[in-house]
């Protein structure tokens, strides 16, 4: 559909063209006749209803000149009318030609105006399309910028949430580490108290057992002394063969010294009560995990404290990671499975135990092998480090 200004322009051109044609037509109808030439006398009008000449009458001699003049005048009038008609026809043809030329000019003007209107319409349509395309491009760019801004805002929000989650996770880990450290400290204190209580109980029990053994030994010596004081002849020959074994023992004194660590003579000379006490002591020593550091732990409180801390830390790993420990035993990769816990425990152990104690013996490694691997260090796997220092 054409735009409104173009339609209005076409309507105005058509109205003006119609007004112009009507004005020309009315002017051609109201034009006055051409003036006659006054230099020529107008022929007299013939009377009678018809212009046809009547029957020939013989003129008289007197009237012949007049008749000839009348005829001459009639011929002149007839020629004048012919000339007038010809002039009127020429004027009419000229007017028709001018009218046609005017109409053609108006038509050309109308066509030109229509072409101009169409051209203006096409230009306006192109301008409108260009404007719409420009607006569409601007809108597209604005939408793209808005989408980029929204995407950037969303990414910033995600990054912010991720940072908050990371900080929360770090805070949670720090809190968990602090909690575990606090639990470890409490457990160490409780273990130390329990160890002290156990040692007191063991000391009391050992003292009681030693007292009972001493009483039994004294009773046995009293019995032997009472038996030796009786004057019975039969028992006296029995001690006589004893000097021969003594001489043999004296000759083979180095062999006796080599057999001394087995303590066979001491055990043989013990009473049943003393043997029970010695067996109980061995059981207690085995339960306490007596190793090559037993002398250090008995004489140096720092070594005993290091052993207790290591035992406590490893017990905590065993308590919180039962499934991982069992799986590590089966596949012999315990060190890889519990690497982070081992590293954390090793770091905490290094903070709690002095360097001079750790440089003499690795109690933490010893407890890991004993509690988690049942004494078999191969269960830790090929990636496990060696104890530092080695036992």
3-state secondary structure string across 105-150: HHHHHHHHHHHHHHHHHHHHHHHHHHHHHHHHHHHHHHHHHHHHHH
pTM above 0.75, yes or no: no
pLDDT of residue 141: 93
Is residue 131 predicted with pLDDT exceeding 60? yes
Query: In this predicted model, which residue has the larger pLDDT, 256 or 358?
Result: 358
Rounded CA separation 62/57 (Å): 14
Question: What secondary structure letter does DSSP report for 55?
Answer: S
pLDDT tens-digit map of 256-269: 333 333 333 344 45
pLDDT tens-digit map of 291-324: 556 777 778 888 899 999 999 999 999 999 999 9
Question: In angstroms, how far is the first alpha carbon of the chain from the final one?
Answer: 103
Q: Which of 65-79, 229-243, 334-348 has the lowest mean pLDDT?
A: 229-243
Rounded CA separation 131/24 (Å): 46
Is residue 246 predicted with pLDDT exceeding 50? no
Is residue 247 predicted with pLDDT exceeding 50? no
Residue 49: band (very low, low, confident or very high) from pLDDT cuts 50, 70, 90: very low
pLDDT tens-digit map of 334-347: 999 999 999 999 99
Rounded CA separation 249/312 (Å): 50
Q: Which of 27-36, 114-123, 179-188 has the lowest mean pLDDT?
A: 27-36
Rounded CA separation 330/62 (Å): 176
pLDDT of residue 280: 53
Rounded CA separation 258/266 (Å): 15
Rounded CA separation 391/380 (Å): 17
Percent with pLDDT over 70 in the chain: 72
């Amino acid at each position: 559909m054409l735009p409104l200004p173009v339609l209005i322009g076409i309507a105005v051109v058509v109205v003006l063209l119609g007004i112009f044609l009507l004005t020309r037509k009315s002017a051609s109808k109201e034009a006055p006749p051409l003036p006659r030439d006054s230099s020529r006398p107008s022929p007299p009008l013939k009377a009678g209803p018809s212009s046809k000449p009547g029957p020939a009458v013989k003129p008289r001699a007197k009237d012949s000149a007049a008749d000839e003049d009348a005829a001459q005048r009639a011929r002149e009038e007839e020629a004048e009318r012919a000339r007038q008609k010809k002039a009127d026809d020429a004027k009419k043809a000229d007017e028709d030609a001018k009218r046609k030329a005017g109409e053609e000019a108006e038509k050309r003007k109308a066509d030109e105006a229509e072409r101009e209107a169409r051209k203006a319409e096409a230009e306006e349509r192109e301008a409108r399309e260009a404007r719409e395309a420009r607006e569409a491009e601007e809108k597209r760019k604005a939408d793209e910028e808005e989408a980029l801004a929204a995407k950037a805002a969303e990414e910033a929000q995600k990054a912010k949430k991720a940072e908050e989650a990371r900080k929360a996770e770090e805070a949670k880990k720090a809190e968990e580490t602090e909690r575990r450290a606090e639990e470890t400290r409490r457990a160490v204190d409780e273990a130390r108290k329990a160890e002290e209580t156990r040692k007191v109980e063991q000391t009391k029990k050992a003292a009681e057992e030693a007292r009972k053994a001493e009483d039994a030994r004294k009773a046995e010596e009293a019995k032997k002394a009472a038996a030796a004081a009786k004057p019975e002849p039969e028992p006296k020959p029995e001690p006589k063969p004893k000097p021969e074994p003594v001489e043999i023992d004296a000759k083979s004194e180095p062999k006796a010294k080599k057999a001394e660590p087995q303590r066979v003579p001491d055990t043989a000379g013990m009473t049943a009560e003393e043997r029970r006490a010695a067996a109980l002591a061995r059981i207690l020593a085995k339960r306490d995990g007596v190793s090559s550091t037993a002398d250090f732990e008995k004489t140096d409180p720092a070594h005993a404290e290091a052993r207790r801390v290591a035992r406590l830390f490893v017990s905590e790993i065993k308590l919180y990671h039962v499934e991982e420990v069992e799986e590590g035993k089966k596949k012999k990769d315990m060190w890889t499975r519990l690497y982070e816990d081992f590293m954390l425990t090793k770091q905490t152990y290094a903070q709690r135990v002095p360097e001079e104690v750790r440089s003499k013996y690795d109690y933490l490694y010893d407890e890991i092998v004993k509690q988690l691997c049942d004494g078999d260090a191969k269960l830790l796997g090929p990636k496990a480090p060696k104890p530092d220092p080695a036992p």
